[in-house]
Amino acid sequence: MTPERALRALAWIARFLSWPFARFDIAGGEALNHEIDGVVIVVDHRSMFDIAAGVIVFARYGRAPRLLVERRYVERSWTGPIARAIGAIPVDRAAGGAAAFDAARAELDRGATILILPEGRLHRPDPADPLSTGPASTGTARLAAATGVPVVAAGMLGTDRVWPPEKRWPNLNPFRRRELVTVRIADAPVPLSGTDRHADTEAIMAAVRAQMRCCQDAATAIERRAA
């Protein structure tokens, strides 16, 4: 089975298993139209559910994105077989991530979609600034500069209620109301200079936060209608 087929199967399984606990509201994404092959999608990272949510969401756009994940998840006995089957790209931070960069570049050169969570680690926002993002790697900007592929920003809010970052397991109570996960995807790629990776990284994360604000507005409107 190819990684693309494995990812599509995983998306179906994840959607089926998460249905009792999560409901999705998804909009935008004109930038992911089928005329574009290689693309990097970037999204905020607040929950371990983000990976499953990303696979579910982008499958609706006909995308089977390769995931960049920490090497330990590729090597573990229970997550490793799944990670390898879907063609996950292991990131070894201790070694500088050069191998992951080269692997991601090769996938983009052949027209694949790559899903990146630039913060790398779960970000727990300050209640005073709920739409903040954590420190981001410049890897996405460097990949875009090296390959010329577009970078599309997305925001996801609500995944941390499905699987709170402080908990080992997600909230699997089917008798509770399903948690709302709002997803907004930009309709155009992030404008990048291609020469200043730090400025481009700032532009990427600003675009992610803009989509997060759209998620927040949508969630507020949905909850108001339901009240």
Residue 36: pLDDT above 70?
A: yes
CATH number of the CATH domain containing 122: 3.40.1130.10
- Calculate mean pLDDT across residues 26-45: 89
Q: Could you give the CA distance from residue 148 to residue 194 in angstroms, rounded to a whole number?
A: 8
Indicate the pLDDT class of residue 200, thresholds 50, 70 and 90: very high
Owning domain of residue 188:
3-226
Per residue in 107-127, pLDDT (tens digit) is: 899 889 999 999 888 898 888
pLDDT band at 94 (very low <50, low <70, confident <90, very high): low
DSSP the chain: --HHHHHHHHHHHHHHHHTTTEEEEEEE-GGG-TT--SEEEEE---STHHHHHHHHHHHTTT---EEEEEHHHHHSTTTHHHHHHTT-EEE-GGGTSHHHHHHHHHHHHTT-EEEE-TT-S-----TTSTT------SHHHHHHHHH---EEEEEEESHHHHS-TT-SS----TTSPPEEEEEEE-SSPPP--SS-HHHHHHHHHHHHHHHHHHHHHHHHHHHHHH-
β-strands 151-157, 66-70: how paired? unpaired
According to the model, what pLDDT value does residue 96 have?
65
pLDDT of the residue at 70: 75
Tens of pLDDT, residue by residue over 64-83, are: 888 887 777 777 766 777 77
Length in residues, the chain: 227
Mean pLDDT of the chain: 88
User: Residue 144's beta-bridge partner residues?
Assistant: none
Closest CA to 92 of 68, 119, 115, 66: 68
Which band of pLDDT confidence, cut at 50, 70 and 90, is reported for residue 191?
very high
Q: What is the mean pLDDT of residues 147-171?
A: 92
pLDDT tens track for 127-145: 888 899 999 999 999 999 9
pLDDT at 38 over 80: yes
Number of structural domains the chain divides into:
1
